C-alpha cells in the first residue's frame, strides 16, 4: 500500500519574486504571511463554521481510496458523487448551542485519476470515517513481467 500526500491544489506555492534578485518584495512577503496564517487557522475556524475538511488519499495495486473523518455526521447527511472527473463529498450536521440549532455544511472536491471505473465506485461510513473505494481499470493495474536470461 502506498500513501499519497495530498496538498490543496488551490494553495499558492512559495516562490521568491524575481523582481528583487530572487528575494521577496514587501507586498510579496506580506501576502505569503497572510496566506500562511490563513491556512494554519482555517482548520480551527473551519471546524466551527463548516467548509472543507481534510482527506487522506492512498492506493494499492487494485484501488485508490479517499478517506475522510466526519465526526458527528449521520449517514443520511452524506452525499458522494463523481462529477467531471472529480469526487464530490458533501456532508452536514446539526450543532446545538443553548436553544439555538445551527446546520454546519462541509464539502470537498478531489480530482480522481482517469483510470477509475466510475460505475464501480463504492463508499462506506463507519464510526465517523468515510472511505470511498475507487477501483482501477484492468489495463491500468500493474503487471509483473518476468525477465529471462539468454
* Whole-number pLDDT of residue 3: 60
Q: What is the CATH number of the domain that holds 135?
A: 2.60.40.790
Q: Is residue 123 part of a domain?
A: yes
Does some domain include residue 62?
yes
Domain around 56: 2-8+51-140
- For residues 122 and 128, what is the distance between their CA atoms, to the nearest angstrom? 17
In a domain, 145, yes or no: no
Domain annotation covers residue 31: no
In tens, the pLDDT along 89-113 reads 999 988 888 888 888 888 888 888 8
Distance CA 97, CA 145 (A): 61
The answer for residues whose C-beta is within 8 angstroms of residue 97's C-beta and 6 or more apart is none
The span from the CA of 79 to the CA of 150, in Å, is 56
Residue 125's pLDDT is what? 94
Question: What is the chain's alpha carbon radius of gyration, rounded to the nearest angstrom?
Answer: 21
Q: What is the pLDDT of residue 134?
A: 92
What does the alpha-carbon distance between residue 8 and residue 31 come to, in Å, rounded to a whole number? 18
**Predicted local confidence at residue 81, as pLDDT:** 92
Residue 13 within any structural domain of the chain: no
What is the total count of domains within the chain?
1
Host H or E run for residue 49: helix 26-49
Report pLDDT for 32: 76
- Asked if residue 135 is part of any domain, the answer here is yes
Grid cell locating 145 = 513481467
What is the SS3 assignment for 139? helix
Give the integer Cα–Cα distance in Å for 64 and 139. 15
- State which residues of the chain have pLDDT below 50: 11-21, 44-48
- For 76-87, write each residue's pLDDT tens digit: 999 999 988 889
Percent of the chain beyond pLDDT 70? 69
Q: Look at residue 25 and tell me if it is in a domain.
A: no
Per the domain annotation, does 75 fall within a domain?
A: yes
Pick from 63, 66, 65, 30: nearest CA to 135: 63
Amino acid at each position: 500500500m502506498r500513501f499519497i500526500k495530498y496538498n490543496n491544489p488551490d494553495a499558492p506555492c512559495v516562490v521568491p519574486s524575481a523582481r528583487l534578485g530572487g528575494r521577496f518584495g514587501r507586498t510579496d512577503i506580506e501576502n505569503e504571511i497572510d496566506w500562511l496564517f490563513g491556512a494554519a487557522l482555517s482548520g480551527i475556524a473551519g471546524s466551527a463554521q463548516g467548509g472543507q475538511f481534510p482527506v487522506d488519499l492512498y492506493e494499492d495495486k487494485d484501488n485508490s481510496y479517499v478517506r475522510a473523518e466526519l465526526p458527528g455526521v449521520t449517514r443520511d447527511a452524506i452525499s458522494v458523487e463523481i462529477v467531471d472527473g472529480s469526487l464530490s463529498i458533501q456532508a452536514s450536521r446539526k450543532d446545538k448551542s443553548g436553544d439555538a440549532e445551527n446546520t454546519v455544511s462541509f464539502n470537498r472536491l478531489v480530482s480522481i485519476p482517469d483510470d477509475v471505473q466510475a460505475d464501480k465506485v463504492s463508499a462506506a461510513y463507519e464510526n465517523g470515517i468515510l472511505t470511498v473505494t475507487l477501483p482501477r481499470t484492468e489495463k491500468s493495474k500493474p503487471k509483473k513481467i518476468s525477465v529471462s536470461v539468454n
